[in-house]
Amino acid sequence: MERKLASVVVIDDLQPIEGADLIEVATVKGWKLVVKKQEFNIGDPAVYCEIDSFLPEKEVFEFLRRTSFRTMAGIPGFRLKTMRMRGQISQGLLLPISVLNGDAYTLGEDVSEKLGIVKYEPPVPAALAGVAKGNFPSFIPKTDEERVQNLSGIYERLKNTIFYITEKLDGSSATFYHRDGEFGVCSRNLDLMETADNTFWKIAHQLDLPAKLAAVGKNIALQGELIGEGIQSNPYCIKAQTVRFFNVFDIDAYAYLPLDAFREMITQLELEHVPILDTAFMLPDTIDELLLAAEGASALSPAGRPVEREGIVIRSIDRSISFKAISNKFLLNER
């Protein structure tokens, strides 16, 4: 499902911030946002813009210039990041419903296109960008789990489910597939042509993935995180590059392999998976508690130098449910 960067919401709660006279904290779904006092009331409709939104250079957004101005592919605009104000975490931007200029709206409606809002994409090194053969294949799901804050409406219902959790690594999403005799390599959004200088394809051959996937004897895809030198400043201090896998996808059944079958397949292919942190995890009482659980040192931290992990991914054992919790400590230090 495409991410709703800007959507119509209602204000669920408003609370004071200790020592702050002009601002307060609003709750929208599972998100906390700092807003001006008396700008909103509980139950008011509003437009919520998620973190990683890239807002166009328009007069209505000019108040963001001092803190959020960026360029993306040469285009000026405003990037929304996690911030801390008077000790309060604020994630995203809440706008009065008047920003829609009187247009009709429905609760939950995606208004990203209407407002000219797109996802912020950091510059991609040439070795990762590659040459596109086409868009990401339709026969494989993209690797982009929903954030837990957007699941506040169903969180209670998930508490009786047993999950396993893995570390979300700070790298670049990579997908490798074998389908009807053809081997392919994908970045997060593109099916890539094989070129001599492309890191994704280099890793595919280093790990002997074309032969290994062909030997499985079925249409299959592996998805993982490309990490190492030249990728996200290489927080794990890894020499060269490698991939840690988190999904095995049966293309014909259009289904992910459950945990035991996933681990068996990765072992059979002599590959490595992302750190598995717990295989019998139950959700804590609140989303805030889960976000605290997302914080911690990476299992891949270099010796003697703990690195804050990006977060955790929470999946049901049978793979019918999957979502992520990103560490606020990581987000506050994000580049």
Render 179-242 in DSSP notation, one character per residue: ETTEEEEE-SSEEEPP-TT-HHHHHHHHTTHHHHHHHH-S-EEEEEEEEETTSTT-TT--SSEE
Q: Which residue intervals of the chain bear CATH 3.30.470.30?
A: 126-332
Residues 227, 238 contacting (CB under 8 angstroms): yes
| pLDDT category of residue 101 using cuts at 50, 70 and 90 | very high
Tens of pLDDT, residue by residue over 32-70, are 999 999 999 999 999 999 999 999 999 999 999 999 999
Q: What is the helix, strand, coil percentage profile of the chain, to 5?
A: 20, 35, 45
Query: What pLDDT score does 3 carry?
Result: 79
Query: What is the chain's mean pLDDT, rounded?
Result: 95
Query: What pLDDT score does 123 carry?
Result: 82
Query: What pLDDT score does 304 carry?
Result: 87
| pLDDT category of residue 124 using cuts at 50, 70 and 90 | confident
Backbone angles phi and psi of 83, in degrees to 5: -135, 165
Place of tokens 């929208």: 28
* pLDDT above 90 as % of the chain: 91
State whether CATH 3.30.470.30 applies to domain 126-332.
yes
Q: Is pLDDT of 1 > 60?
A: no
- CA distances (Å), origin 287, targets 80, 125, 326: 21, 35, 11
Query: What pLDDT score does 129 carry?
Result: 82
| pLDDT category of residue 334 using cuts at 50, 70 and 90 | confident
Query: What pLDDT score does 130 carry?
Result: 83
Distance separating the N- and C-terminal Cα atoms of the chain: 26
The Cα–Cα gap between 223 and 257 comes to 12
- CA distances (Å), origin 51, targets 32, 78, 79, 174, 225: 11, 11, 8, 23, 21
Query: What pLDDT score does 260 carry?
Result: 96
Place of tokens 């813009």: 49
Query: What pLDDT score does 2 carry?
Result: 64
In the predicted model, what is the mean pLDDT of residues 249-275? 97
In the predicted model, what is the mean pLDDT of residues 312-335? 93
Query: What pLDDT score does 126 carry?
Result: 73
| pLDDT category of residue 137 using cuts at 50, 70 and 90 | very high
Query: What pLDDT score does 143 carry?
Result: 86
Residue 298, both tokens: 């990476």
